[in-house]
Amino acid sequence: MTAAQAVNKGDVSWMLTSTLLVLLMSVPGLALFYGGLVRSKNMLSVLTQVFAIVCVVGLIWVTYGYSLAFTNGGALNAFVGGFDKAFLKIAPEGKTIIDAVAATFSNNVYIPELVFVAFQMTFAMITPALIVGAFAERMKFSALLLFTVLWVTFVYFPIAHMVWYWGGPDTLALEAYKAALAAGGDASKAAAAAADAVSAYNAKDAGLLYQWGALDFAGGTVVHINAGIAGLVGALMLGRRIGFGRDLLAPHSLTMTMIGASLLWVGWFGFNAGSNLEANGLTALAMMNTFVATCAAAVAWLFAEWAVKGKPSLLGMVSGAVAGLVAVTPASGFAGPMGAIVLGLIAGVVCFFFVTTVKNALGYDDSLDVFGVHCVGGILGALGTGILVSSGLGGTDIVDYSTCKAAIDNGVATFSGCSSSYPGMGAQFFTQLKAVLLTLVWSGVGSAILYKIVDLVVGLRVTADREREGLDLAEHGERAYNM
Amino acid sequence: MTAAQAVNKGDVSWMLTSTLLVLLMSVPGLALFYGGLVRSKNMLSVLTQVFAIVCVVGLIWVTYGYSLAFTNGGALNAFVGGFDKAFLKIAPEGKTIIDAVAATFSNNVYIPELVFVAFQMTFAMITPALIVGAFAERMKFSALLLFTVLWVTFVYFPIAHMVWYWGGPDTLALEAYKAALAAGGDASKAAAAAADAVSAYNAKDAGLLYQWGALDFAGGTVVHINAGIAGLVGALMLGRRIGFGRDLLAPHSLTMTMIGASLLWVGWFGFNAGSNLEANGLTALAMMNTFVATCAAAVAWLFAEWAVKGKPSLLGMVSGAVAGLVAVTPASGFAGPMGAIVLGLIAGVVCFFFVTTVKNALGYDDSLDVFGVHCVGGILGALGTGILVSSGLGGTDIVDYSTCKAAIDNGVATFSGCSSSYPGMGAQFFTQLKAVLLTLVWSGVGSAILYKIVDLVVGLRVTADREREGLDLAEHGERAYNM
Amino acid sequence: MTAAQAVNKGDVSWMLTSTLLVLLMSVPGLALFYGGLVRSKNMLSVLTQVFAIVCVVGLIWVTYGYSLAFTNGGALNAFVGGFDKAFLKIAPEGKTIIDAVAATFSNNVYIPELVFVAFQMTFAMITPALIVGAFAERMKFSALLLFTVLWVTFVYFPIAHMVWYWGGPDTLALEAYKAALAAGGDASKAAAAAADAVSAYNAKDAGLLYQWGALDFAGGTVVHINAGIAGLVGALMLGRRIGFGRDLLAPHSLTMTMIGASLLWVGWFGFNAGSNLEANGLTALAMMNTFVATCAAAVAWLFAEWAVKGKPSLLGMVSGAVAGLVAVTPASGFAGPMGAIVLGLIAGVVCFFFVTTVKNALGYDDSLDVFGVHCVGGILGALGTGILVSSGLGGTDIVDYSTCKAAIDNGVATFSGCSSSYPGMGAQFFTQLKAVLLTLVWSGVGSAILYKIVDLVVGLRVTADREREGLDLAEHGERAYNM
Amino acid sequence: MKIVMAIIKPFKLDEVRDALTSLGVHGLTVTEVKGYGRQKGHTEIYRGAEYAVSFLPKLKIEVAVAADQVGKVIDSISVAARTGQIGDGKIFVVPLDHAVRIRTGEKDGEAL
Amino acid sequence: MKIVMAIIKPFKLDEVRDALTSLGVHGLTVTEVKGYGRQKGHTEIYRGAEYAVSFLPKLKIEVAVAADQVGKVIDSISVAARTGQIGDGKIFVVPLDHAVRIRTGEKDGEAL
Amino acid sequence: MKIVMAIIKPFKLDEVRDALTSLGVHGLTVTEVKGYGRQKGHTEIYRGAEYAVSFLPKLKIEVAVAADQVGKVIDSISVAARTGQIGDGKIFVVPLDHAVRIRTGEKDGEAL
Ligand SMILES: Nc1ncnc2c1ncn2[C@@H]1O[C@H](COP(=O)(O)OP(=O)(O)O)[C@@H](O)[C@H]1O
Ligand SMILES: Nc1ncnc2c1ncn2[C@@H]1O[C@H](COP(=O)(O)OP(=O)(O)O)[C@@H](O)[C@H]1O
Ligand SMILES: Nc1ncnc2c1ncn2[C@@H]1O[C@H](COP(=O)(O)OP(=O)(O)O)[C@@H](O)[C@H]1O
C-alpha cells in the first residue's frame, strides 16, 4: 500500500457494516420473508434452502467466484474473468492479504480488498437465494444445491463481470498519468493523450455491459432481473404445486413475512448505499433513495389493493416495499429523491397489477412471485435509471471520468470537475434496454439448460406423496413447529 | 462545501448506521413488541399500522416535514419552521444535493445534510407509530392513516422544531466571527461583541424550548412524552375494548414481544448515540448510558414485580427495559453512567407501579401502556436530565457555547475550553418541567382536536362485530397465522 | 487526550457498531437460538434467563467487573485485576470520562475508553448466557441469577484478565521510549534497554495466559471453552430432564432457532472483527474468516448428517454454523481464509460426531449442547489457532512487539517493521493446549463449587411438578403463546 | 347419563361456563373446532390469490350430566350462547353408558 | 338421529365437504386430531436425538344427520376420503338423542 | 361396540397408548382439549392485568372397541393415566352403532 493508497477508516467501517447488512438480508431476512409465505409443512425447507445457498456460495466465492467476476478474463474478458485471484490470491507482492486494496469510484480512494471481496460475496449469496421462492414447496433439496452451484458459475459470475467489472477510476488515473508523462510537457497534448489512453483502457478492461455504458448502481440487472427470470423458468419447468388454484395455499405466518420484509429493508441500505464503496454524500443519497422509493411503493400497492380488492393488506404493503427496493436498486446512486419516489410509485402499482392480474391470467405457479416482484421491478428500475439519472430530473448525471481533471489531480471524492457523459434520455434508455434484454436472455436460456441438466442427474421435483407430506418431514426429517 | 466543511467519513459511517438502526426500531422492532401483546386476531392490524405509518411519514417528511421542523419559520419561528426546504430543496447554490452539509454540535464538524434528513426522518416515523399501542385492537385503519397525517403535521413537526431547531455551533461561530471582525482588533471588545451576537442569534434563530434552555438529548419530549400523551387521549376517546376487564386479553406471543424489545434496545443505540451526530467520546457515553439505564430499569421492574406479584415475568422485565430506554433518552448525552443507572432504577419501579396499580385504579384502556411507559418514563427522564447533567453527579454539564473560545477557534470536538451554563439544579429542573408541560398541553390538546376531526370524517372505531372478528380479517382480509 | 492520542472516528464508528452487534447476539440472537429448541412451555424461561443475565451482568460490569478484568491487580495480577476503575472511575486527571482513551493493538491508535468498556461488557454479558442452554427446562430462576453473579465474579473476570489483560503496544512504546530516554544518546544501548524494558513490562503487566503467549483473538477460551465446561458441569449437577430419552423433547420452533442462528452469525462480525478494535485490513480479514469458517462448518455438518442419518436437517446446518463461528473465534485475526475454511470443516464434522454419538453414549443431558458445540468447538479453535497462525499456512504470524521499531516510531497500523515471534507449530500448539487446560480446570472446578453453593442456598432445580407444568407458568406466571 | 355437546361461538365460552356452574355442573371439556354451516365465511386474498374460507372458528363443549339434568343444561347453554345471529351453533345430546373418575375409580353418577 | 364421525386424511377435507353438500348436508364440524393406527409414522431427528412419531395428523368430521340418511352419508364420505392407502381412516356412527339450534331453539330434525 | 373416550393429563399419553397396545388395541384418536373441573387453574399476570385461567390443557383419547373389551380398556386406561392427584380426568363410554374402515369398506368389528 503506497501512502496514496491509505484507506480511510470511515469507509472501512461503513463497508464492514454494509457487508453484514447484506448477510442480514439473506439470513434471516429473505428466508423469513419467503418462509412465512409457504405452508407450515414447508417452512423449514425454505429456511434450509436459503441458508444452504448462502453457505455453499460463500465457499465457491472465495475459491473461484470472486476471481471469475472481478479479474481480467483475457480473451473472454467481455463476458467473464479468469482464475488469477482464485483461492483469494490477492496479496500484493511482498505483502500480505490484509494489505491488498481495491479501488472505489473515487480516484485515489481505496478500501481493503478483503472488504470488497466480502461485500461482493454477500451479493453472490443472496441472488440464487432469491430464486428459491419461484419453485418453493416442491423442489428436491439435492437438486437445489446442484442447481445453485451450476447457476452461480455459469450465470451469476459472468453477468456480475459483464456489468460491474472495471479497473476503476484509479486504474484510469494511472493510465492517464502514464500517458501524460510519456507525452512530455505539452499540456494540451498530454490531455488528449490521457483521454485516448482512458478510452483505450476502458475499451479493453471492462465487462461488456459496462463498456456499453449501462448503469446499474447496486444490482438491478445482476441480482434482480437475473434471479427473477431464472425463477420464472424454474417455476415453468417444475410445474404447478399440487392443489394450486384449488386448495388454500395461504401463508402460514405473515408475521414472519413482515419480519423478513423489514429486515430486507434495513439490510438493503447496506446493499444500495454500500454499493458506493465509500461513506460520503453520495452514499447518503443512495440511502435516502432507498428509503423513499420503498415508502412510495409500499403506499402505492396498499392503496391500489384497497381500491381494487376492497381491503388494504399487510402482505400487499410489504410486497410493495420489496418491489420498491428492487426498483430503486439500480437507480439508488443516480436518481434524486423525488425521482426515486416516482419510481417507487410506479413499481408499486405495476407489480401489484402484475402479480394479481397478469400472473393469474397466465396461470403459471411462481409460488412467491419472484418474477412478478424481482424481475418486473428490476426491469422498471433498470429502465427508469436511464431516465432519472438526468440532472434535469434531479439525478446525479453520469460522471465522465475522461474529463475528470480535478478528480484525477486531487483525488477528491466528488467529481465536481468532471463533465457529464449522459447521452440523453433516449440513448441511455436504449442502452439500459439492451442490458435488460441481454440479462434476460443469458439468464433465461442459461437457467433452462441448467434445470434440464439437474433434472437428468437427480430429478427436480419431489414425488406427490412427499409434496403432500411437506418438504420439512420428507426432505429434512424435521418439523418447524411442535407447539 | 468549503475546505473547512469537509465531512469526516467516520461520522458519516456512524450516522448512516444510526439511521438504519432507528428504522430497525420501528420495523420490525416496535411492530413486534406491540404485535406480540395483542390477540392473534389483531396481530396483522398492528404490524400494518406501524409499517404504514413509517411509509406515509417518510413521504411527508421529504415533501414538507423536514422543512417544517428544521428551517427558520419566520414570524412563527418559535413554534414551527417554513417551507424553504420543501421537496428537499437543500442543494447549495451551484452544487448538488449531495454537497449540502448540516452542522453538528461541534464547531466546524459537518455531516452531509442528506444524512441528517434521513436520521431525523426515522424519528418522525417512529413517534406516531408509538401511539398505536394505546388504541390497539379497535381503531379503523383509515382513521389511523388520516390521524397520522394530521398529527405529524400539527403536533410532531412543531414540537420537533421547538425543541431541536437551532443553527448549531457553526452558525454561532460564524456570527461571532463576523461580530469580532466588525469590532476590530480589540480582543476584549471582540469577545463581548461575540457573546452579544451569539445571544442575539440564539434568541432569534431557535425553537421555543431550545431558547428556554430545555435539554433533550435524543427525544424524551419530542418523541416519548409527545406520543405518550397522544396515546392516552386516544385511548380515552376510543373507549375500552370489548371484554376489557372481563375476558382473557392475553398477549398472543410474548416471543414476538421479546424480539421486539431486544431490537428496540439494539436500535436505540442509533437513536441515542446517533443523536450526537458524530462518532466520538460523547457518543460512547450516550451508548454506555443507553446500556446501563436499560439494564437497571429491567432489573428494577423484575424485582419489583417479583416482590409484589410473586413472580418475575419476562413481560415485566422487557417493559422495564423499554421504560429505561425511554427515561434515558433525554439524558443519554448529559448524565454519567452512574446517574443513568439511578435514572433507570427509578423509571423501572415507577413505571411498574403506574401500569400495575395507578392505571388499573383509573380504569382506562391504554391497550399496550403507551402512556404508562412512554409518557411516564419520558417525564421522569426529562426531569431527571435537569438534575443528572450536573457534573457534581457525574454529568457532562451544559456547554455554554458563548464562552467556547477554544472550540470556536479550533473546532475541536470536545468543548474543553467552554464553561458551563448550568443554572443549577433547581433552575434547570424548572426549565425541564416547563418543557414537559408545554409538550403535554400542545400534544394533548392538539391530539384531542385531531381525533375529533377524524371521528367526524371517517369514524375512529370499528363496529363491535368487526372488533370481535378481529381487525386482521375485518380490516385487512388476512389472517396472521395459518398453522 | 494528547494530540498523539486523537482517536480516529472511523474506528469509533466501527467499534460502536460492533458493540451493539454483540448485544444483538445475546438478545434476541442467542435467546431465540436456545428458545426455539426447548418445548413451548419453557420458551419464556429461556428468554427470561438470557435477558436477565444480560441486564444483571451489565450492572456488575460497570460497578466492578471491568475493573477486575482490565486493571492491574497488583500481587494477584497474573490472575485478576483490582478495583482501581470500579464504578467507571476512568476519567483522566482533570478531564472527564469522555476523554479517557484505551490503547488498541496498533501503536498510537486509540479509541475512547468508554467504547472499549461497552464492547467488552457485551462479552461479559453473553458468556454466562451461553451456559443456560446446558440446564434449560429445569433450573430455578433464582438459582440462575445467583449463579450468574458468582460465576462472572469468580470465573469470567479472572479468565478474561488472564487472557486479555495487557497494557497494549502503547504502554509498551511509552516504556520503551522512557527507557531509551534514560539510556541517553547511544542508539544501540537505547534499543537494548528498550527491549529489556518491554520484556520486563510485559512480564509484570499482563495476565497469566497472555504472558504464556497464548493466542485468543476474540474469545475462544474466555467465552466458549469457559461457558462450555461450566455448562457441562451444570448439566451433570442438575441431572437429566424428566422424560429425557423417552418423551418427545422436540424443539418447539426451529423457525426461532434459525432466526437466532442467523442473528448470531450477523452479530458475530462485531464479536470477531470488532475484537481488532480498529477498522482496517486486519478487521476485514477477521470478518472474512468469520464468513467462510461458518459456511464451511455448516456445509460440513449438513453433509455429514446427510451421509450418516439419511437427511440433511436445518437444525444440523445451523448447529454447524455455530460450531464454525465458535471455532474461528480465537483464530479470526490470525488464520488466513483458507485456513479458516479447514478449521470450519473440521469443527463441523467433529461437533456433529460429538453431539450425535459421543454425547448419546455418555448419556448426560446437556439440553442444548453447550458443551458439544461451544466447548468442543472452542477447543478445536484454540488448538487450531496455534497452527493456522503460521504464515506458511496463510496466517498472519504473531507480531513481536519488542522488535516493532517502525511501528513504535511511526505508529502505523500494520506492523510491517515487526518480526514474528511465532515459536513454531509444536511450541505454539503446546502453549494453546496449556491455555485450554487451565481454562477447563479453572472454570470446571470453579463452576462446580459455585453450583454447590447455590444449591445449598436456594436449590438448583425446580420440583418435578413445576418441571412438568413448564417453567413459564411455574416460575414466571406467563405463557409464551396464546394463539 | 348423557353427554351434552354444544358447538358455540368462541367468545361465548365464559358465559356458558358461568351458566353451567350456576346449575351445579362443575366439569366440562372444551375443544377448538371449525364449523361449516349457514353462516357464511369470508374471503382472504393473498397477493391476488383469493380463498373462500367457509370454516369458521367455533368451540365444542362437552358436558357429561345425569339424564334428568339434560333439559336444564340445554336450556342454560341455549340462553347463554345465543346472540340471535346465524352461526350461534347447535346442541347435541348423546347417550352415555358409563363414566369413571380416573383418580378415584368412582363410577357413573359419582364420577361426574 | 345419528352423529356420523369420520377420521380422515387432512387433504381430503374439501372433497368430503363437497360430497356431503351434494347430499344436502349443509352443516358439519371439524376437529384437528392426531391418529394412531396401522399407518406407520416417521422418525424425526434433532441433533442426534431420534424420536419415533407414531401419531399422524388427521381431521375428525362430525355430522349430525337424520337416521335414514346415515347410509348415504357413510357412502359418500367413504368415496370422497378414500385414497386406497393405509391411514385413510374410519367412520363411526353414534346415536343422537336430541339436537337443538341455539339461535332459534328449533329441535331435532329442524335443528340440523 | 363402544367408543371409550378418556380425558387425561397430557404427559400420560405415552403410557396410556402403551397400555392399550398391550391389550391388543391398535388404533386410537387423540385431541388436544381444555378441561374445566375441580383441579384449580392458575393465575397469569400480564403487566398488572390478572387473569384467572381455569381451563387446563388435557388430551381426549377416543378408542372404538368391541363391547366385551370395554371393561379391560377402562381398567388399563385408569391405571396408566392415574397420578392420584386432582385432575387425572374421566373416562366416558358411549354406544357405537356402526364402524367403517374407509380404505377397504370393512364394517364394524372388522373395521376397528
Ligand atoms: N349437521 C351438523 N352436524 C354437525 N355440526 C353442525 C351441523 N350443522 C351445523 N353444525 C355446526 O354448527 C355451527 C353453526 O351452524 P350454522 O348453520 O352456521 O348456523 P346456526 O347455528 O345459526 O344454524 C356450524 O359452524 C357447525 O360447526
Ligand atoms: N379403534 C380406533 N378407535 C378410534 N380411532 C381409530 C381406531 N383405529 C383407527 N383409528 C383412527 O383411524 C386412523 C387410521 O387408522 P389406520 O389403522 O392407520 O389405517 P386404516 O384407516 O387404513 O385402517 C388412525 O390414525 C386413527 O385416528
Ligand atoms: N362433567 C364433565 N363433563 C365433561 N368433562 C368433564 C366433566 N368433569 C370433568 N371433566 C373433565 O375432566 C377433567 C378433570 O376433572 P377434575 O374435576 O379437574 O378432576 P378429577 O379428574 O380428579 O375429578 C376436567 O379438566 C375436564 O376436562
> Is residue A79's pLDDT more than 60?
yes
Q: Residue A272 pLDDT more than 50?
A: yes
Contacts of E75 (CB under 8 A, 6+ apart): none
Q: What are phi and psi of B358, to 5 degrees?
A: -60, -50
- Averaged pLDDT, A84-112: 91
Q: Is F100 on the interface with E (CB under 8 A)?
A: yes
The pLDDT confidence band at residue B93, using thresholds 50, 70 and 90, is: confident
Q: For residue A409, is pLDDT > 90?
A: no
| DSSP calls for B360-393 | HHHT---TT-IIIIIIHHHHHHHHHHHHHTSGGG
- Cβ–ligand 1 contact at D6 (below 6 Å): no
Calculate mean pLDDT across residues A403-407: 53
- The yes-or-no verdict on residue B170 having pLDDT over 70 is no
| Positions of chain D with pLDDT under 70 | none
Give the closest ligand to the alpha carbon of residue F105.
Answer: 2
| Residue of chain A nearest D49, judged by CA positions | A356
Average of per-residue pLDDT values in chain E: 94
Cβ(F49)–Cβ(B249) under 8 Å?
Answer: yes
Minimum mean pLDDT range among A99-108, A226-235, B7-16, C191-200: C191-200
pLDDT at B184 over 60: no
The pLDDT value given to residue C304: 98
Runs of H (alpha helix) within B310-457: 314-328, 337-353, 359-362, 376-388, 405-410, 425-457
At A52, is the pLDDT very low, low, confident or very high (cuts 50, 70, 90)? very high
CA-nearest residue to D43 within chain B is: B477
At residue C374, the pLDDT reads 98
Helix axes A9-24, C281-309, angle to 10 degrees: 20
Query: With a 6 A CB cut-off, is D63 part of the ligand 3 pocket?
Result: yes
Alpha-carbon distance A97 to C284, whole Å?
Answer: 10
Type of residue found at C265: W
Q: In the prediction, which pLDDT does C136 show?
A: 98
pLDDT of residue A352: 98
Q: What pLDDT was estimated at residue C3?
A: 43
A468 and E11 in contact by Cβ < 8 A? yes
At B397, the pLDDT band (50, 70, 90 cuts) reads confident
Kindly provide the ipTM of the predicted complex, given to two decimals.
Answer: 0.95
Q: How does the average pLDDT of chain B come out, rounded?
A: 91
Residue-level length of chain D: 112
Distance CA C216, CA F25 (A): 61
Whether F24 contacts chain B with CB within 8 A: no
* Plot region of C336 (φ>0 → left; ψ -120 to 50 → alpha; else → beta): beta
Residue of D1, D3, D13, D28 to mutate, ligand 3, most atoms within 8 A of C-beta: D28
Separation between Cα atoms, residue E33 and residue E16, nearest integer Å: 17
Ligand nearest to the CA of D28: 3
Tens-digit pLDDT profile for residues B281-297: 999 999 999 999 999 99
Q: For F43-53, what is the mean pLDDT?
A: 89
**Which residues in chain C have their CB less than 8 angstroms from residue F43's CB?**
477
Contact list, E47 vs chain C (CB under 8 Å): 315-316, 319, 355-356, 369
Beta carbon of E63 within 6 Å of any ligand 1 atom: yes
Q: What is the pLDDT of residue B406?
A: 47
- Any chains having at least 3 CB pairs less than 8 A from chain F are B, C, D, E
C→F contacts (Cβ < 8 Å), by residue, are: 243, 246-247, 468, 473, 477-479
User: Would the CB of F87 count as within 6 Å of ligand 3?
Assistant: yes
Q: Is the peptide bond preceding residue C28 cis, with omega within 30 degrees of 0? A: yes
Q: Which residues of B touch D43 (CB under 8 A)?
A: 477
Chains that touch D (3 or more CB pairs under 8 A): A, B, E, F
State the pLDDT at residue B411. Answer: 44
Please name the residue of chain C whose CA is at the shortest distance from the CA of residue A253. Answer: C255
Render the burial of A412-434: b for 16+ CB within 10 Å, e for the rest.
Answer: bbbbeebeeebeeeeebbebbee
- For chain F, say whether D95 makes contact (Cβ under 8 Å): yes
Please identify, by atom number, the ligand 3 atom nearest to the C-alpha of residue D104.
Answer: 22
pLDDT tens-digit readout, A156-200: 999 999 999 986 666 655 555 555 556 555 655 555 555 555 555
**Ligand 1 touching residue E74 (CB < 6 A):** no
Beta bridge partners, B206, equal B166
Tell me the average pLDDT across F88-97: 97
Distance CA A369, CA A360 (A): 11
Give B-chain residues touching D11 at CB under 8 angstroms: 243, 247, 468
The grid coordinates listed for B463 are 363496529
- Check whether A373 has a pLDDT greater than 50: yes
Q: Given the CA of residue F88, which atom of ligand 3 is nearest to it?
A: 21
F62 CA from centroid of ligand 1 (Å) = 22
**What pLDDT, in 10s, does the model give residues B399-437?**
766 565 544 554 444 455 566 778 888 999 999 999 999
Query: What pLDDT does residue A205 have?
Result: 82
DSSP B234-297: HHHHH-PPTTTTTS----SBHHHHHHHHHHHHHHHHHHHHHTTSS-SHHHHHHHHHHHHHHHHH
C400: exposed, middle or buried (Cβ count in 10 Å: 0-12, 13-18, 19+):
middle
Whole-angstrom Cα distance, residue A166 to residue A204? 10
pLDDT score recorded for residue C406 = 47
CB nearest to E92's CB, from F17, F28, F99 = F99
Per-residue model confidence (pLDDT) at position C14: 98
The per-residue pLDDT for A428 is 95
**251-310 in C: which are within 8 Å (CB) of A?**
251-255, 258-259, 261-263, 265-266, 269, 273, 278-285, 287-288, 291-292, 294-296, 298-299, 302, 309-310
Residues 146-185 of chain C with CB under 8 A from chain A are none
What pLDDT score does A95 carry?
Answer: 87
Report pLDDT for C105: 86
User: What single letter denotes the amino acid at residue B168?
Assistant: G
Ligand nearest to the CA of D30: 3
> What's the gap in Å between E61 CA and the centre of ligand 1?
12
Q: Does C471 touch chain B (CB under 8 A)?
A: no
Please identify every stretch of chain C with a pLDDT value under 70, giving residue numbers as ranges.
1-5, 168-204, 400-419
| Test the C interface: residue of F43, F44, F47 with most C CBs within 10 Å | F44
| Cβ distance of B315 and F44 shorter than 8 Å | no
Cα torsion F28, F34, F35, F41: sign? positive
Are F28 and E36 an interchain contact pair (Cβ–Cβ within 8 Å)? yes
pLDDT digits (tens, 9 = 90+) for B348-386: 999 999 999 999 999 999 999 999 999 999 999 999 999
DSSP C145-189: HHHHHHHIIIIIHHHHHHHH-B-HHHHHHHHHHHHHHHH-S-HHH
Whether E46 and A478 lie within 8 Å, measured CB to CB: yes
Distance CA C23, CA C14 (A): 14
